[in-house]
Amino acid sequence: MPELARPLTVTQISKAKGQKTPYRLADGNGLYLEVRPSGRKSWLIRCRLPNGKQSPAIVIGHFPEDIPETGLSLADARTKAITLIRAVEGGEAVKGVNAAKRDRRSARVSEIAAAAQQAAEAERFSFRTVATRWLSEKRPTWQSETYRKARLIVETYLIPKLGDVDMRTLVTKDVKPVLLGMASKVPVLARKAKQHVGSIVGYAIDEGMRADDAVLRLNNLLPKHEGGHLPAITENENELKELLKAIERYDNRVVRAALTLTMLTSLRPGIIASARWSEMDLAAAEWRVPGMELDGRNRMKTGKDFTTSLPKQALRALEEMRLFTGGTEYVFPPLARQKTPHLGRDSLSKALREMGFRGKHTTHGFRATLRSMGRERLNYELDMLEQQLAHAPKDQVQAAYARVKFKEQRRQKMQEWADHLDRLRDEDHSKE
């Protein structure tokens, strides 16, 4: 009978040194210690396979036991060897430490890839991404100011709270606390935010992220809020008279001229602030506003070209600005520290607040002033007023009727309006 290998001792293993070629020290029961020229010591096993053949040597660990991950003491190596040999005899496939390392690395790589894919999918369907795409697709159809406000609401109020929520599973209870929080602080913006959330959800449905009936129940979510209209002087002519005098006295010529053009044309503040000289035909006393910007964004809210006559008072204000800004693209240049290429529309609101009309009248309020006082004091036709305010006609017949009937009538009536404002401002007595 062949002589059985003597079991190794810890001392023997510790004293084993590397030689020119690798060599093995047998411990018995198929367990060996291999010593490399570098001095590295590895535990190996060889066992009988179920088919009767001898297995190749399998590295099951290293000595000493303090080697990270694979270190085994003599006792641990013997225990592991017995366990693996029995597994092989039972027909199980056994891998060495190097193969196990490769498997672990592969598993980690797979886990990282799966996590990255999951994160990418979560970001793709997140409220943040979907809302940003919705804004981008809406931008060409909106006026610059409409887009600015929508972006403010989405990026300032909605994304910080809902940004990581999956649009595929977004429900009303996710949105409710956000909108109610806004309602307690900025009720007007809360109502706009509710509209935007509904539109974003609709966009997600159109893109196949949600079922066709997966809408949110937002209609009765917000508490009723009184008011909602922008402040405007629409009844008291004494207040309007004070406003007209305050504008005439305002020391900044750019803002003063812009406010004058606003009250004489009743166009929206964003259109006024971004007025271009190329749009002005001073000889014909007309301002022709293109419905779209060159980049495809709406300039007019309706997206349709619009022409308004320019009363004599408006022409005087424009002539003053031409002397001041002749040769520039925009009629009203930006004020100091403004980053826009033209006057910021908020400068007009700020000026009205400085004049003492906070909560009483806004730049947009000049539109309501014309509509209310023009109708009640000067008996202007409502359809003519709607056309001057560039409200979209309800149907094609009304649109054609407005174009035919109101161009010259608007020219006459807007000059009457300008004269009426002059008389009111210059009156020496007050009216109730």
CA angle 138, 142, 145 (to 5 degrees): 120
Question: Does 383 lie in the same domain as 292?
Answer: yes
Question: Does 388 lie in the same domain as 289?
Answer: yes
7-18 pLDDT, tens digit each:
999 999 999 999
What pLDDT, on the 0 to 100 scale, is given for residue 1?
41
Indicate whether 148 pLDDT > 60.
Answer: yes
What pLDDT, on the 0 to 100 scale, is given for residue 226?
47
Question: Does 262 lie in the same domain as 146?
Answer: no
Last residue of a domain, one of 183, 206, 229: 206
How far is Cα 330 from Cα 321, in angstroms, rounded to an integer? 10
Return the CATH number at 169. 1.10.150.130
Total Cβ atoms within 10 A of residue 220: 7
Task: Give the residue, 288 or 224, on which the prediction is more confident.
Answer: 288
The mean per-residue pLDDT over the stretch 279-290 comes to 93
What pLDDT, on the 0 to 100 scale, is given for residue 180?
92
How far is Cα 174 from Cα 172, in angstroms, rounded to an integer? 5
Q: 189-193, 216-220, 290-294, 336-340: lowest mean pLDDT where?
A: 336-340
Q: Is residue 266 situated within a structural domain? A: yes
Question: Does 370 lie in the same domain as 257?
Answer: yes
Question: Does 410 lie in the same domain as 370?
Answer: yes
The mean per-residue pLDDT over the stretch 279-306 comes to 87
Question: Does 422 lie in the same domain as 335?
Answer: yes
How far is Cα 3 from Cα 36, in angstroms, rounded to an integer? 25
Q: Which domain covers residue 91, as residue numbers?
A: 10-99
φ, ψ for residue 348, nearest 5 deg = -70, -45
How far is Cα 89 from Cα 333, in angstroms, rounded to an integer? 90
What pLDDT, on the 0 to 100 scale, is given for residue 431?
46
What pLDDT, on the 0 to 100 scale, is given for residue 224?
66
Quick one: which of 232, 254, 265, 250 has its CA closest to 364? 232
How far is Cα 383 from Cα 225, in angstroms, rounded to an integer? 30
Q: Which two tokens stand for residue 121?
A: 């999918």
Q: Is residue 229 situated within a structural domain? A: no
pTM: 0.54
Question: What does the DSSP 8-state code read for residue 335?
Answer: P
Q: Which residues pair with 62 in a beta bridge?
A: 42, 71
Please state the domain count of the chain: 3
Question: Does 131 lie in the same domain as 92?
Answer: no
Q: Which residue has the tokens 């305050």?
A: 246
Q: Is residue 374 situated within a structural domain? A: yes
Given its phi and psi angles, is residue 316 left (phi above 0), alpha (psi -120 to 50 degrees) or beta?
alpha
Helix, strand, coil: what percent of the chain each, to 5? 50, 10, 40
Question: Does 383 lie in the same domain as 310?
Answer: yes
Last residue of a domain, one of 186, 206, 226: 206
Q: What SS3 string covers 121-155?
A: HHHHCEHHHHHHHHHHHHHHHCEHHHHHHHHHHHH
Indicate whether 339 pLDDT > 50.
Answer: yes
Indicate whether 103 pLDDT > 90.
Answer: no
Q: Which two tokens stand for residue 413?
A: 């009536």
Task: Give the residue, 170 or 407, on which the prediction is more confident.
Answer: 170
Question: Does 280 lie in the same domain as 196?
Answer: no
Judge contact between 363 and 355, C-beta under 8 A.
no
Q: Is residue 303 situated within a structural domain? A: yes
Of all residues in the chain, the percent with pLDDT exceeding 90 is 44
Question: Does 345 lie in the same domain as 253?
Answer: yes
What pLDDT, on the 0 to 100 scale, is given for residue 345?
84
φ, ψ for residue 228, nearest 5 deg = 110, -20
Last residue of a domain, one of 185, 206, 227: 206
The mean per-residue pLDDT over the stretch 123-151 comes to 89
Question: Does 407 lie in the same domain as 304?
Answer: yes
Quick one: which of 203, 59, 32 has its CA closest to 129? 203
Question: Does 172 lie in the same domain as 79?
Answer: no
Cα dihedral 216, 220, 223, 224 in deg (nearest 10): 130
Q: Is residue 115 situated within a structural domain? A: no
Return the CATH number at 272. 1.10.443.10
Q: Is residue 193 situated within a structural domain? A: yes
Highest mean pLDDT among 127-131, 215-219, 231-235, 339-343: 127-131
How far is Cα 71 from Cα 63, in angstroms, rounded to an integer? 6
161-195 pLDDT, tens digit each:
999 999 999 999 999 999 999 888 888 888 999 99
Judge contact between 308 and 272, C-beta under 8 A.
no
Judge contact between 111 and 61, C-beta under 8 A.
no
Question: What does the DSSP 8-state code read for residue 304?
Answer: S
Return the CATH number at 18. 3.30.160.390
Measured in whole angstroms, how far is the alpha carbon of residue 251 from the centre of its chain? 38
Indicate whether 199 pLDDT > 70.
Answer: yes
